[in-house]
């Protein structure tokens, strides 16, 4: 008993020292000079937080106060925020977690700080209050955010620290918090230009949501580090000579790319780690006088391209036209002496600080750079104004709004020009047709093509930075269904859909008249019942579709034999169905392969959208009326499910000793390759004969010499599936083979 008391006192003493040590380290990390008043303010925030959290501990067992101190330190040293934000960071959890009220904060620290703390508390409530519609809450949250951007900056520091200490949380919370991070916080950090924060958030999030991929990439990166360092050193040497000769003051270094961006590349291009060539970028940071910034950067550029051949398609000048989040840099991809491409980023010290620290750093330079460089913070202010506009628009429903908002967040931009020289910003991947709709709906509707830098291009042509685009129109033109495949902007998609809907309605009116005439010619009554019989006969969705198909000639007049249809005399050939090879009726879920939550016999089904198989990382999602559905953690729906309905997520894991062969799981793979007569039978042979895997179906579509095939198979687990894909690859080395993440 006595021993215990002593050790408790000892522990308290050790912790008290540790708290003070952390607080002092926070003070040292503040890089602006503090007035006495500011010092007092920070101290009293610390004292308040210390008192408010005095009996609380984190999940890890540490005193709670470690957390607000760490958040304040991130705000000060990693984002470079000022006193107000540091104070808010220290007390951000006080109102949420203790008896202190917002009024107490207001009395002690004034209106401004109280308002920010209020915003921070509200965000907290949004995420903890788990039984309400999350999307609507996101919207409310963002509405408060746009009042004072410091709310989101401090929140990002808070989130970053929580992600850094996520290890001690339950698996369920790890998934929920990581998904929210990918869904909202990382894109927000990106939009505010906080590149370091964004990358770290993303890396930490996939560490928990895609554990195997994360482990594989980080291990492989570590294994190759020494060789990579040598390579970078050799690459840099000739550049140093040139930069010295040019008389520049500079720093040059190789920077590894984030694990997240490498994984994204692997998934996007369907390649293994070994084939990702740009695992790092080389960065040249020049120390320039304000008036010489641009000239110095281009001098450095010419030093680089004198020594290494640049890829003309991959030069990006974000110095002349900065991104709207304020990012300025000159990028070029050049060929090293061994024939490998290396990305080189050139920027000044000021640009580098802004790129790393984002929004906050703008203000530091805003005044000193006025008159020399246009205020670069316009982009961020403009963005916040736009967000506010969307938020205050009551007509958009919350989920739609979130989609729009995310579209705005995640897309990188390109800059293109009208013939008159007006600059338009469009997302990467935007086409000539997107541009046309950006100008005006009527220009979009009548677009037949474009002149790009005086060359004719089709409407589907993907624009690149700096293009000057002249839209060509024709009065005879109108939007078509296929156009939806040629646009990426929300605006263009909405306008095309609108037109098609309206057009279909008008065409259907005409189709209805045609059918009516037909009825009267054959002396049948035109009524709902009879029309419905015809709808059924042609296996069409609705009467509207029937009328439309008739008007369009998709159902030809000679097939419209009313008499024989109404009297059930089928005379139409069935459509050709996809080849079905062999079907085994062991779909999923009935046997107990998975432990859901802590419970051994909770019933569940495997989700059809991502078809999890043993070996996949999975989670359970409680549905309304359909029990628990099991998804893969990398299911494209997962991020949105987990972040919007976190409270319905439940831990799930495969049982360890699954009896193999008893149950098989459905997996879908996609194969792309060169068209070849024997391809179907060759694939069927490998799969069914050599591997004895049961195929459910195989469909192959070919187009201009290439084909795309989808094969559904029943396998035991991920290993089994991997083996099968490997076997196909061995037999057909040129094919691109990948597992389908989502079953559309």
Name the site residues for Mn ion (rule: CB under 5 A).
93, 158
The distance of closest approach from Cβ of residue 89 to Mn ion in the complex, given in angstroms and rounded to an integer, is 9
Query: How far is Cα 54 from Cα 57, in angstroms, rounded to an integer?
Result: 8
Q: Would you call 461 helix, strand, or coil by DSSP?
A: coil
Of 15, 18, 62, 96, the active-site residue reads 96
The distance of closest approach from Cβ of residue 158 to Mn ion in the complex, given in angstroms and rounded to an integer, is 4
**CB closer to Mn ion, 159 vs 446:** 159
**CB closer to Mn ion, 42 vs 49:** 49
The distance of closest approach from Cβ of residue 188 to Mn ion in the complex, given in angstroms and rounded to an integer, is 16
Which DSSP helix (H) or strand (E) runs through 189? helix 186-191
What does the radius of gyration of the chain's CA atoms come to, in whole angstroms?
31
Q: Quick check: is 241 catalytic?
A: no
Of 62, 97, 104, 545, the active-site residue reads 97
**CB closer to Mn ion, 158 vs 352:** 158
User: Percent helix, strand and coil across the chain, each rounded to 5?
Assistant: 55, 15, 30
The distance of closest approach from Cβ of residue 129 to Mn ion in the complex, given in angstroms and rounded to an integer, is 16
**CB closer to Mn ion, 93 vs 438:** 93
Q: How many CA atoms lie within 13 A of 715 on its CB side?
A: 24
Rounded to 10 degrees, the C-alpha dihedral 281/284/285/291 comes to: -130
The distance of closest approach from Cβ of residue 207 to Mn ion in the complex, given in angstroms and rounded to an integer, is 20
The distance of closest approach from Cβ of residue 136 to Mn ion in the complex, given in angstroms and rounded to an integer, is 23
Q: Quick check: is 118 catalytic?
A: no
Q: Would you call 370 helix, strand, or coil by DSSP?
A: coil
CB contact at 8 A, 183 and 643: yes
**CB closer to Mn ion, 93 vs 413:** 93
Query: How far is Cα 741 from Cα 189, in angstroms, rounded to an integer?
Result: 27
DSSP secondary structure letters along 300-322: HHHHHHHHSEE-GGG-EETTTS-
The distance of closest approach from Cβ of residue 79 to Mn ion in the complex, given in angstroms and rounded to an integer, is 16
Distances (CA, A) of 183 to 85, 170, 279, 446, 586: 24, 20, 25, 37, 35
- With CA atoms as reference, report the closest residue to 183 among 164, 167, 206: 206
**CB closer to Mn ion, 74 vs 433:** 74
Nearest residue relative to Mn ion (C-beta): 158
**CB closer to Mn ion, 130 vs 374:** 130
- With CA atoms as reference, report the closest residue to 451 among 437, 441, 465, 463: 463
**CB closer to Mn ion, 46 vs 483:** 46
CB contact at 8 A, 473 and 446: yes
Identify the DSSP state of 542. -
CB contact at 8 A, 732 and 600: no
The distance of closest approach from Cβ of residue 116 to Mn ion in the complex, given in angstroms and rounded to an integer, is 14
CB contact at 8 A, 82 and 357: no
Through-space distance between the first and last CA atoms of the chain, rounded to whole angstroms: 64
Scanning the structure block, which residue is given the tokens 């060759």? 682
The distance of closest approach from Cβ of residue 67 to Mn ion in the complex, given in angstroms and rounded to an integer, is 6
Pairing of strands 706-715, 694-703: antiparallel
**CB closer to Mn ion, 46 vs 707:** 46
Query: How far is Cα 303 from Cα 159, in angstroms, rounded to an integer?
Result: 41
**CB closer to Mn ion, 75 vs 724:** 75
Rounded to 10 degrees, the C-alpha dihedral 639/645/646/650 comes to: -100
CB contact at 8 A, 257 and 281: yes
Scanning the structure block, which residue is given the tokens 């005879």? 476
Query: How far is Cα 262 from Cα 279, in angstroms, rounded to an integer?
Result: 7
Strands (E), 214-279: 250-256
**CB closer to Mn ion, 158 vs 293:** 158
The distance of closest approach from Cβ of residue 93 to Mn ion in the complex, given in angstroms and rounded to an integer, is 5
Give the number of other CB atoms < 10 A from CB of residue 143: 16
Query: How far is Cα 691 from Cα 716, in angstroms, rounded to an integer?
Result: 12
In the numeric block, which tokens belong to residue 627?
């029990």
Q: In what order do the strands lie in the sheet with 604-606?
A: 594-596, 649-654, 618-622, 628-632, 604-606
- The angle, 0 to 180 degrees and rounded to 10, between the axes of the packed helices 36-52 and 2-29 is 150
The distance of closest approach from Cβ of residue 166 to Mn ion in the complex, given in angstroms and rounded to an integer, is 13
**CB closer to Mn ion, 158 vs 200:** 158
Q: Would you call 91 helix, strand, or coil by DSSP?
A: coil
Catalytic residues: 96-97
């Amino acid at each position: 008993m006595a021993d215990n008391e002593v050790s408790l006192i000892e522990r308290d003493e050790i912790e008290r020292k540790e708290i003070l040590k952390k607080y002092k380290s926070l003070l040292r990390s503040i890089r602006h000079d503090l007035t006495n008043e500011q010092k007092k303010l920070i101290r009293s925030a610390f004292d308040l937080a210390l008192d408010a959290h005095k009996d609380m501990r984190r999940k890890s067992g540490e005193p709670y106060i470690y957390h607000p101190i760490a958040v304040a330190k991130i705000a000060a040293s990693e984002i470079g925020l000022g006193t107000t934000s540091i104070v808010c960071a220290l007390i951000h959890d006080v109102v949420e977690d203790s008896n202190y009220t917002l009024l107490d904060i207001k009395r002690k620290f004034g209106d401004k700080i109280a308002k920010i703390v209020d915003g921070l508390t509200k965000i907290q409530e949004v995420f903890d209050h788990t039984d309400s519609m999350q999307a609507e809450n996101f919207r409310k949250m963002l509405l408060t955010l746009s009042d004072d951007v410091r709310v989101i900056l401090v929140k990002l520091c808070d989130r970053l620290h929580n992600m850094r200490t996520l290890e001690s949380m339950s698996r369920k919370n790890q998934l929920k918090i990581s998904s929210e991070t990918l869904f909202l916080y990382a894109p927000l950090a990106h939009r505010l230009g906080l590149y370091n924060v964004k990358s770290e958030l993303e890396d930490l999030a996939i560490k928990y949501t895609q554990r195997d991929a994360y482990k594989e990439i980080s291990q492989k990166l570590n294994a190759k580090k020494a060789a990579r360092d040598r390579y970078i050193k050799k690459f840099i040497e000739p550049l140093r000579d040139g930069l010295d000769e040019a008389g520049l003051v500079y720093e040059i270094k190789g920077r590894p790319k984030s694990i997240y961006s490498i994984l994204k590349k692997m998934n996007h291009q369907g390649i293994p780690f070994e084939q990702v060539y740009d695992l790092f970028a080389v960065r040249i940071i020049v120390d320039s006088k304000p008036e010489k910034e641009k000239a110095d950067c281009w001098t450095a550029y010419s030093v680089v391209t004198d020594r290494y051949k640049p890829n003309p398609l991959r030069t990006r000048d974000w110095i002349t036209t900065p991104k709207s989040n304020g990012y300025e840099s000159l990028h070029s991809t050049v060929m090293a002496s061994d024939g490998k491409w290396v990305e080189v980023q050139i920027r000044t010290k000021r640009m580098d600080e802004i790129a790393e620290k984002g929004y906050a750093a703008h203000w530091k330079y805003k005044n000193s750079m006025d008159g020399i460089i246009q205020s670069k913070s316009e982009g961020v202010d403009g963005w916040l104004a736009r967000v506010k506009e969307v938020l205050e628009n009551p007509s958009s429903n919350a989920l739609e709004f979130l989609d729009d908002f995310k579209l705005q967040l995640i897309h990188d931009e390109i800059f293109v020009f009208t013939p008159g020289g007006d600059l338009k910003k469009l997302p990467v991947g935007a086409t000539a047709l997107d541009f046309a709709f950006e100008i005006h709906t009527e220009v979009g509707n009548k677009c037949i093509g474009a002149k790009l830098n005086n060359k004719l291009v089709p409407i589907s042509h993907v624009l690149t930075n700096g293009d000057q685009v002249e839209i060509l129109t024709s009065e005879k033109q109108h939007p078509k269904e296929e156009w939806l495949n040629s646009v990426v902007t929300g605006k263009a998609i909405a306008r095309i859909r609108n037109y098609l809907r309206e057009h279909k309605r008008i065409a259907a009116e005409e189709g209805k008249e045609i059918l009516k005439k037909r009825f009267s010619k054959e002396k049948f009554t035109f009524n709902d019942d009879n029309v419905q019989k015809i709808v059924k006969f042609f296996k069409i969705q609705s009467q509207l579709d029937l009328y439309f198909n008739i008007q369009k000639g998709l159902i030809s007049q000679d097939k419209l034999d009313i008499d024989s249809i109404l009297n059930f005399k089928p005379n139409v050939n069935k459509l050709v169905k996809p080849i079905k090879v062999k079907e085994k009726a062991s779909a999923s879920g009935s046997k107990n392969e998975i432990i859901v939550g802590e419970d051994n016999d909770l019933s569940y089904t495997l989700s059809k959208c991502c078809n999890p198989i043993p070996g996949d990382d999975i989670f359970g999602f409680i549905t309304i009326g359909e029990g628990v559905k099991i998804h893969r953690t990398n299911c494209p729906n997962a991020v949105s499910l987990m972040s919007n309905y976190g409270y319905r997520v439940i831990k799930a894991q495969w049982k360890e000793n699954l009896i193999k062969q008893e149950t098989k799981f459905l997996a879908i793979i996609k194969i792309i390759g060169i068209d070849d007569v024997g391809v179907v039978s060759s694939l069927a042979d490998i799969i069914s004969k050599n591997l004895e895997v049961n195929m459910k179906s195989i469909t192959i579509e070919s187009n201009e010499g290439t084909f795309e095939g989808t094969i559904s198979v029943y396998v035991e687990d991920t290993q089994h599936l991997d083996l099968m894909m490997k076997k196909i690859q061995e037999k057909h080395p040129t094919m691109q083979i990948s597992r389908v993440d989502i079953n559309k």
